[in-house]
């Protein structure tokens, strides 16, 4: 208990050191309004929080949702380009943040889901993520955990533990992760003209002007999600090329040459991530990925669906070059004439998108579970 208290205290100071600023009175400033909370929503969200951080939800009891969506790392994973799942298995994509995720109607980098409650079952069942062999298997395990029965019954009267209620509880928790009210929002919507400095304001002018970022990372008249929730080919990760023939030694002096086609039979990892194409089968969607929101983006490095760009500076350089090499790259991307000061200003603007609500969300995520 003492250890836990000390650790929580460290987390609390870390949060204030790295995320300084006045606490948020209105975390939703600058965001579209969510539907008002339904009766009982708070109870469901608290249950969802317990589930989100409970490692026993994975097959071998090691992995929780919160280990890839880490509160202190912008509810994403800063440590790995691509998420690392159960038994260290590497996934093909970077873990996106779950901050503000309730405002999205296009989920996953390829948009294959559209609602949080069913989405939760995807990592729960994925063999490389939480690896539960079936829905029933996990539900039976939850039913045997004494502390959950009463909590599910209170949050979902008459329904108890089921596929829907597990998903709905996790969704209810994620709906609380509203993280607007950044310096940008205070400047734009909060009548605080000093909230952005001159460099950040220049960055915003570039973002919505010459650099053309806001054509996909939308900024509306009344709020800004910084995403059109659509799919575009930026060329990130598309530099992939099939490896040529591979020479495999069989015995001293004896070797054979395997062609790419032979290797496909056993090397699933040696394949490009075609993104949206997997879902739409539309050839124009090869290498297309969903535009991510840029809110809190300074907290969620590394970047792009494959985590291939380590910093915001690298992202801006990537766009200044006109994006990556891909056959059907978006016509909205062109090499940009941006000097060093302009690139720096774009980065400074993106750093002003950190929510002042984040320290409180991190503290809440780590607060002990009420008995």
Q: Is 83 in the site for ligand HEC (CB under 6 A)?
A: yes
Sequence-separated contacts (24+) of 51-54 with Cβ below 8 Å = 51/166, 51/169, 51/170, 51/173, 52/170, 52/173, 52/174, 52/365, 53/365
**Using CB under 6 A, which residues numbered 265 to 294 contact ligand HEC?**
289, 291-292, 294
The CA distance from 232 to 215, in Å, is 11
232 Rama class: left (phi>0) / alpha (psi -120 to 50) / beta: beta
Site string for ligand HEC, 118-147 (x = CB under 6 A): -xx--xx----xx-----------------
Token pair 């999205």: residue: 104
Q: Is 65 in the site for ligand HEC (CB under 6 A)?
A: yes
With CB under 6 A as the rule, give the number of residues binding ligand HEC.
Answer: 53
The CA distance from 350 to 31, in Å, is 16
Token pair 């915001």: residue: 312
Q: Is 91 in the site for ligand HEC (CB under 6 A)?
A: yes
Q: Binding residue for ligand HEC (CB under 6 A) from 49, 109, 286, 343?
A: 109
Q: Binding residue for ligand HEC (CB under 6 A) from 70, 107, 161, 172?
A: 107
The answer to whether the peptide bond before residue 302 is cis (omega within 30 degrees of 0) is: yes
Q: Is 346 in the site for ligand HEC (CB under 6 A)?
A: yes
The CA distance from 59 to 333, in Å, is 43
- Tokens, residue 310: 């380590």
Q: Which is nearer to ligand HEC, 23 or 87 (CB)?
A: 87
Q: Is 177 in the site for ligand HEC (CB under 6 A)?
A: no
Give the footprint of ligand HEC on this chain (CB under 6 A).
63, 65, 67-69, 83, 85, 91, 93, 95-96, 98, 101, 104, 107-110, 116, 119-120, 123-124, 129-130, 170, 211-213, 215-217, 232, 234, 236-237, 289, 291-292, 294, 297, 300, 303-305, 312, 315-316, 319, 330, 332-333, 346
């Amino acid at each position: 208990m003492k250890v836990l208290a000390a650790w929580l205290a460290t987390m609390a100071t870390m949060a204030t050191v790295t995320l300084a600023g006045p606490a948020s009175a209105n975390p939703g400033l600058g965001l579209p309004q969510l539907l008002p909370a339904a009766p009982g929503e708070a109870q469901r969200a608290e249950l969802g929080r317990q589930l989100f951080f409970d490692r026993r939800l994975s097959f071998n009891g090691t992995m929780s949702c919160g280990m890839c969506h880490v509160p202190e790392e912008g509810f994403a994973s800063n440590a790995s380009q691509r998420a690392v799942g159960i038994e260290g298995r590497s996934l093909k994509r970077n873990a996106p943040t779950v901050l503000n995720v309730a405002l999205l109607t296009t989920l996953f980098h390829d948009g294959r889901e559209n609602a949080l409650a069913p989405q939760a079952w995807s990592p729960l069942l994925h063999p490389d993520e939480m690896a539960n062999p079936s829905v029933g298997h996990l539900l039976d395990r939850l039913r045997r955990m004494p502390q959950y029965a009463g909590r599910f019954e209170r949050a979902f009267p008459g329904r108890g533990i089921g596929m829907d209620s597990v998903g709905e509880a996790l969704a209810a928790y994620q709906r609380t992760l509203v993280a607007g009210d950044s310096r940008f929002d205070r400047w734009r919507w909060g009548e605080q003209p000093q909230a952005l400095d001159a460099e950040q304001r220049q960055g915003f002018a570039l973002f919505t002007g010459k650099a053309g970022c806001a054509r996909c990372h939308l900024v509306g008249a009344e709020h800004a999600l910084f995403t059109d929730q659509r799919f575009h080919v930026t060329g990130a990760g598309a530099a992939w090329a099939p490896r040529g023939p591979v020479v495999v030694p069989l015995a001293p002096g004896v070797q054979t040459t395997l062609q790419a086609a032979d290797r496909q039979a056993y090397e699933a990892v040696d394949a490009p991530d075609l993104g949206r194409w997997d879902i739409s089968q539309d050839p124009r969607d090869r290498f297309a990925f969903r535009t991510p929101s840029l809110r809190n983006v300074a907290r969620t490095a590394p970047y792009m669906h494959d985590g291939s760009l380590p910093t915001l500076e690298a992202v801006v350089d990537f766009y200044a070059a006109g994006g990556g090499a891909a056959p059907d790259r978006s016509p909205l991307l062109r090499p940009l004439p941006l000097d060093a000061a302009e690139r720096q200003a774009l980065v400074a603007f993106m750093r002003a998108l950190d929510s002042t609500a984040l320290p409180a969300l991190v503290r809440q995520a780590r607060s002990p579970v009420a008995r």
